Every structure is written in C-alpha cells, then in structure tokens.
Amino acid sequence: MTGQPKRTPLHDLHVELGGKIVDFAGWAMPVQYPAGIIAEHNACRTKAALFDVSHMGQVELHGELAAAELERLVPSAMVGLAPGKARYTMFTNQNGSILDDLIVSNAGDHLFVVVNAAMRDQDIAHMRDNLAGIRVVERSDLALVAVQGPKAEAVVASLAPAAAHLRFMETAKADLAGIPCRISRLGYTGEDGYEISMPASEAEKVARALLAHEDCEPAGLGARDSLRLEAGLCLYGNDIDTRTSPIEAQLNWAIQKRRREEGGFPGEERILRELASGPARKLVGLLPEGRAPARQSTQIVDAVGAVIGEVTSGGFGPTVGGPVSLGYVLASHAAPDTPVSLVIRGNPVPARVVSLPFVPHNYKR
Amino acid sequence: MSTFYTDDHEWVRVTGDHAVVGITRHAADQLGDVVFVELRAAGERFAKSDEIGVIESVKAASPIYAPVAGEVIQTNQAVVDVTSILNDDPEATGWLYKIKLADVAELDGLMDADAYAALIA
C-alpha cells in the first residue's frame, strides 16, 4: 500500500472512543478500543457489538441478466436467488481456486454485492471486465456497520422495528433512526446479527444511535478476527486464496445442486472433480493441548514428524478459553479426533483435529 | 536499588548483582490482552539480547529479550498461570524473572526512568 491509509466515515468516532488505529488493507481501522479484544469479543458473544466494516466494498450490479452473468464468475446459484435473500459465494479462477469471497443479495431491481476490503479494486475490475451488459456501480458513498450478538435484534429493532422480521440471510430496506438503510441479517462472528448499509454522511448518526443502546459496545478488528476464527469462518488471504479450492476449504455447501449438475463457472473441472472424489487436503479445526497459540504458517506434522499441512489462522479463542487454529491437512488426516502435532517455536505440541465451528453458530434461521 | 529500562520496553530493578526483570506498562498496553507466557527455567544462563521467553497477546507473539547477561534464579509462575496479571500490574506483581547478573557493568548501557519516559513520549 502506498500513501496515507484511507479513513472510513466513522474514523472520528473511533478516535473519540479511544480506538487503537492500525493500517488494515490500506484503511485506518480500529483494532481494539480501551475495553480490549477479549472484552469486545465477550460483548459480542453475550450482548451485542458494533463493528465498522465500511472498508469493505459495496457494489451494485444492474441489468436484467445480472444473476445469470454473475454465475459465469461464481460456482453458486445466483439465478433463482429470491428478492430479499442473500447468499455467500466466491469468485473462482480457471484453476478452481478462490479469487475472493463475497455476499450477494437480491435487492429486487439489482444485485447488491459486498467484497473484502483488500480485494475490492481487483473484484470490481473483474466484474467490469467479465459481466457483459451489466452496469457495475461501486457505492463508495455508502458506509457499512455490523451489529452482532444475541442482543443484536433488540438493539437494531429498537431503531428499525422491521429488522426483527428478517431471518438469517435475508435483507430489506428499512429506516433506522430515520435514516434509509439496507439491513441484512448476516455477519462474520457466528452470532445472530445484522450488517447495515447506509449513506456515509449519516453513518456517525446511525452508529451513535446503535451504541446508545445499553447492550451495544464498539468492537474492533481484533475481536472480529477471534470471533470469526471460533466460528470457523474463512478469512480471505489466510484460509482461502488463489492456492485453495472451495472444496479444500470445505465450502461445498455454497455450491448448489444445479451448479454441480450444469457447471459453467471458472475452474469447474477441478471443483467438480473434487466434489466427486474428494480433495487432496482439507481445511480443519485444530485444538492444541496447553495454552500456546498456533498461529498462521505453523507446520502441522503427523505422529512420526512428517509434515501433513500448515495452520492458516490461529490464535486465542476467548469463548473456547484456549488456543484454536484453522489449517489444511492431508485428507487422510482430516477426520475429527485425528491426533497431530503443531510445531510451535521448534517444539511439536500435541493437537487434535476437530469439527468446525469451535463455538456453535447462533443464527436466527 | 535502582531501576533501568531497555528499548525493548523492559524494566530491570537491581539490588547488588541481582535483579528483577519485567515489561513496562507501556509494553503491556501496546500488547493488549496477554493470553500466553512462556519463560525459561531457573538455572538457565543467557547472554544479553538472547530470547528468554515469549509473551503472546490475542493478536501476536512477542519475544522477551534478555536486557543483560545472567542466570535465571526464579521464574514468576503466577504470570504463566494467570496471564492477565501482565496487563493489570506489569511493573510489580507481573514481574517475569529474578536473575543474577553476569556483569554489573552491562547496566551502564541501559536507560534510566527519565530517558525511558522520553523514549515512549
């Protein structure tokens, strides 16, 4: 990244709240507030936490055939996604690996797409280059906040009653504290919650109104990472990237039956083959013994010390109360309860493979 | 007794040729919530700038560097067992090591409280 990191519309609020600002993907973002990452993590698991995610790219796809065109870039079903519904998917390349992951919502007269901050320029170029006859509109004029946690409904519905009627992966336009917003019931923490898209000029007003609720605390990128890790949700750039396929990443559920039957997406040869006969390696949860976190790039070895994989994300899970990691292992070692070792600072630490998530999802389906 | 500081944000409280070593309040605040501490055992010898342990916060692992050469006399098991002590009280009950100095003259290369305060200002 060159030059000054970009600021979100909530930058002044982060500073006012005592946020510790770091450069993340070219954006000045709060990694934590004075409460600290563990307290912010726990607020999200027990009450509600507000995250600024305005650094993510918000894009509209206009054109009658937007869904059909988008299907040429992703392996998920987009045609048939009902108005008011959202779906997780990923851009794949010709090798069947992942260019980015994204959420697509059917907003009625267009598709509303949210992509990762680090990938937004590349993703937008990718769509402009490949979606014939579709108008790709980057909405840099919008902000995005996430309100996540068991009290998220109480917090958001106190200002936007319609939010209570949404279920997981549903989206609607609604006024929140008098501001026109798009409210989507989804997130990146494993908890119930919402992402709220709104005009950048009104973002501070909306965030302050949400934070005024007694059960809503500000949370930074640090807690966002520990929450998504415990929820077993992939982070692009760590757990998924152009070296991993959706099937290796255990994202099979994101590829609907019609797409498996019809194909017609980049990398379909590899992806359909791995769906049929299994990938060579799989993303798994790893629970190390003891308390030492096994972080990204930690080697995973078998009983005789042969390398069988690598940790892609790892750290301390505040809700688990100990270290948790995600990593790829050979398919032969991917079954739950398989004993492995994680080489931390030269020492093999016993660990076992576990099914994901580490902390059960708490979605309102 | 006098207290010295390093640019790795450690304090060294010296009595004769013995010292207590820990991390500063500034270091603890920069680390954030500490979740794991690994320390050397009593009897181990080390040179100045050797890695003599690791402190891990939620976000990252940070090595502990030996401020001077010496030998571990005692390790503070309390901070290994209850890592939050390092956040709550890093300059007193959150000490890491009691050490015997190999060479008292090495202290001349460290900072006093005023110089350290200027460093983090």
Average pLDDT value for residue range A262-286: 98
**pTM to 2 decimal places:** 0.95
pLDDT at A1 over 80: no
Q: Distance (Å) from the C-alpha of residue B58 to the closest C-alpha of chain A?
A: 6
DSSP-derived pairing of the beta strands A322-330 and A142-148: unpaired
State the average pLDDT over residues B63-78: 98
Q: Is A222 an 8 Å CB contact of chain B?
A: yes
Give the residue numbers spanning the domain of A291. Answer: 280-365
Q: Where are the alpha helices (DSSP H) in chain B?
A: 25-31, 77-81, 85-88, 113-120
**Domain presence at residue A25:** yes
A315 vs B38, B58, B87: nearest CB: B58
Q: A242 lies in a domain? A: no
Q: Which residues of B touch A32 (CB under 8 A)?
A: 32
CATH assignment at residue A294? 2.40.30.110
Nearest CA-CA partner of A92 in A324, A247, A305: A247
pLDDT at A285: 98
Show the tokens assigned to A17.
Answer: 């709240």
Instruction: Specify the pLDDT at position A2.
Output: 60
| Pair (A46, A149) in one structural domain | yes
* Residue A31 in contact with partner chain B when CB distance is under 8 A: yes
Q: Which of A227, A291, A298 to mutate to test the interface with B (most CBs of B within 10 A)?
A: A291
Indicate whether A223 and A291 sit together in one domain. Answer: no
Express as a percent the part of chain B with pLDDT over 90. 98
Determine what percent of chain A falls in helix, strand and coil, rounding each to the nearest 5. 25, 35, 40
Instruction: Give domain status of residue A111, yes or no.
Output: no
pLDDT digits (tens, 9 = 90+) for A171-224: 999 999 999 999 999 999 999 999 999 999 999 999 999 999 999 999 999 999
pLDDT at A291: 95
Residue range B2-120 in CATH 2.40.50.100: yes
Do A223 and A357 have their domain in common?
no
Please list every residue in chain B whose beta carbon sits closer than 8 Å to the beta carbon of residue A296.
Answer: none
List chain B domain ranges: 2-120
The count of other CB atoms within 10 Å of the CB of residue A33 is 20
Q: Answer whether A220 touches B (CB < 8 Å).
A: no
Query: Which CATH number goes with the domain that contains A218?
Result: 3.30.1360.120
Whether residues A154 and A24 fall in one domain: yes
Residue A216 lies in a domain: yes
Residues of B in contact with A36 (CB under 8 A): 32-33, 87
Who among B32, B33, B61 is closest to A295 (CB)?
A: B61
| Residues B56, A293: C-beta atoms closer than 8 Å | yes
Give the ipTM of the model, two decimals please: 0.88
Residue A90 lies in a domain: no
Tokens 């079954």 correspond to what residue?
Answer: A335
Q: How far apart are CA A363 and CA A170, in angstroms?
A: 12
A293 contacts in chain B (CB < 8 Å): 35-36, 56, 61
Q: Whose CA is closest to A45, among A168, A211, A226?
A: A226
**pLDDT value at B38 more than 70:** yes
Is residue A82 situated within a structural domain?
A: no
In a domain, A95, yes or no: no
Q: How many domains does chain A have?
A: 2
Contact (CB, 8 A) for A246 and A90: yes
Residue A250 within a domain = no
